[in-house]
Amino acid sequence: MRVQVDAAFEPLLELEMEMATLVADWSNCDQCAVYVARMVSHDRHDPIRHANLLSAALNELFEMSFHTRESTGTLTFRVYRNGSIERIELAFPCSAEQRNLYETIVQRIRSGQALANYLDVITDDTARAEQAILLGLAVNYDADIELSIRDKGATTFVVDLALERLLN
């Protein structure tokens, strides 16, 4: 399913992977993140630093989809650019319960209490990994995170990262 994207964002890269392949090996998250980061960072001011930051953020997103343990369906990943902002779209199948958890976390981020919530989550041994991942992206990478359901059974995250701003 092709997603309507803000015309200001130029498409850079797209990949699809069967969920069964992704969840078969934890290291797939890191390998995909490193590959994508290197592919889209080559023309940035400091490409190595940009790729390192982007790889770390992407790894978190891939790990979030890994935590669903969904072995059917497809993970779709797209990268777009508008000036200094990389837009990441990550769509993957997940249960209604998982989607509700994501919606709650995104609402916490949008409430302006992301830092306080993040500190609570990283000091709580019972907190779910997805909470630390999304709140960590908002706090540590100044990510703007949106969640949408564009396809029945699949959840799409749209994450805007202005990593070059973090370089200063």
CATH number at residue 104: 3.30.565.10
Residues lower than pLDDT 50 in the chain: 1-2
In a domain, 89, yes or no: yes
The domain in which residue 140 lies consists of: 12-164
pLDDT of residue 5: 63
pLDDT of residue 42: 94
pLDDT of residue 168: 54
Give me 64's structure tokens. Answer: 């979030």
pLDDT of residue 1: 42
What SS3 class is residue 53? helix
Q: Number of folded domains in the chain?
A: 1
In a domain, 6, yes or no: no
CB 11 within 8 A of CB 57: no
What SS3 class is residue 146? strand
CA distance 155 to 124: 26
Give me 160's structure tokens. Answer: 């805007």
pLDDT of residue 68: 87
Contacts of 26 (CB under 8 A, 6+ apart): 66
| pTM of this structure | 0.89
In a domain, 98, yes or no: yes
Helix (H) or strand (E) holding 81: strand 74-82
In a domain, 2, yes or no: no
In a domain, 97, yes or no: yes
139: closest CA among 122, 152, 151?
122
Give me 33's structure tokens. Answer: 């993140």
pLDDT of residue 6: 77
For 42-142, where are the alpha helices, taking DSSP H only? Answer: 47-67, 96-110, 114-122, 129-140
In a domain, 91, yes or no: yes
